Amino acid sequence: MVSARPAVAAMPAYRPGRNAADLAREIGVPTAVKLASNELPFPPLPAVLAAIAATAAETTRYPDNGAAVLTRALADRYDVDPGQLALGCGAVTVCQQLTQAFVDPGTAIAFGWRSFEMYPLLAQVAGGRTQQVPLVPGTPGGTADTFDLTALAAAVDETTRLVFVCNPNNPTGTAVRRAELETFLDAVPADTLVVLDEAYREFVTDAGVPDGVELMRGRPNVAVLRTFSKAWGLAGLRVGYLIAEDPAVADAVRRTLVPFSVSTLAQAAAVAALASEDEVRERVATVTTERTRLTAELRARGVAVADSQANFVWLPLGERTVEVAAALEARAVITRPFPGEGLRVTVGSKGEDDVFLAALDEVLTSASAGVAGA
């Protein structure tokens, strides 16, 4: 019998958010609300739809493997050289490219935990180790779990090749501020690459949370990871990118790109989205305004939701997480449970969030859930 590598066979499968139409059919309701995958509650940008239509006739040809037009547009936007950029099929694939480029068996990836669930899986596939540093626990009615950057810096040793700092953090929504992040970056050895994972950067409203691209400048061992999947509304087209201060870092990541994996349609859509930045900003502002309302509504129900800097909120429900998520699904609302820890809920439209809040009200009053004051 042909067997997979032990490291692969032992991996848990990645679990995407449930399909809303499937849940609706399963429980016998007309529609379900999906607040599990941090997608935008808007249709595609008009310019994106036009770009896809105009490019559709080119899909018999391979895409530009170097994504020259998109790379140039990103270089202009961030005032960097094109050689400092590397693209991939979504930010998670760029994470995989980083691992392939820098992590040997026996070396390590360091990160705070809980954070993006792919980090430990990437290390496992590469035959590397993980150096997981627990988050600083939140306080009831106060902050949610946050990164302990002092402990993370102390965990870095001669075997550490990559450090991921997810800022804002997925799934807690919390973000580290400028002074502590600068102190951390200055403490990490020059031969260890720090990747500031800023998939949710566009949703940050706290002026104290720094732009990673600015912190990157002058630090050759720092790179910034971003995506078009969230604020830019291209989750179904898969475009992520890395900006590195050192062009050699970006070059290494480009070398591990699966050829032609960023499609022609995706490249054209991303260029069109960048040209629609004013409209994107308006949409983001709508999301962050709704985030404020949703946070207030949850706190009014006695749920300890901290301020989020992303397009989701974190409900620290502990051991009740799976039970509450199941009860919400029974009421046609899909959220993202992290068993034993908490529930991540995407900020949807006002109507979607009202459906979620009504379902949560039923759960909160149910004797079997008992989450009030969580």
User: In this predicted structure, what is the pLDDT of residue 374?
Assistant: 43
320 phi and psi, to 5 degrees? -90, 0
| Rounded mean pLDDT, 125-131 | 94
C-beta contacts of 316-323 below 8 A and 24+ residues apart = 316/138, 316/144, 316/145, 316/341, 316/342, 316/374, 317/341, 317/342, 317/343, 317/371, 317/374, 318/342, 318/374, 320/369, 320/370, 320/371, 320/374, 323/368, 323/369
User: In this predicted structure, what is the pLDDT of residue 372?
Assistant: 41
User: In this predicted structure, what is the pLDDT of residue 139?
Assistant: 59
User: In this predicted structure, what is the pLDDT of residue 154?
Assistant: 98
* pLDDT, tens digit (0-9, with 9 covering 90-100), for 149-174: 999 999 999 999 999 999 999 999 99
* pLDDT, tens digit (0-9, with 9 covering 90-100), for 245-279: 999 999 999 999 999 999 999 999 999 999 999 99
Residue 360 · residue 301 · CB < 8 Å: yes
Residues 90, 276: Cα–Cα separation, whole Å: 20
* pLDDT, tens digit (0-9, with 9 covering 90-100), for 287-305: 999 999 999 999 999 999 9
Residue 201 pLDDT greater than 90, yes or no:
yes
127 falls in which pLDDT band (50, 70, 90)?
very high
| Rounded mean pLDDT, 50-59 | 97
User: In this predicted structure, what is the pLDDT of residue 187?
Assistant: 98
Residues 164, 311: Cα–Cα separation, whole Å: 20
48 phi and psi, to 5 degrees? -70, -45
Angle CA 326–290–328, to nearest 5: 10
343 falls in which pLDDT band (50, 70, 90)?
very high
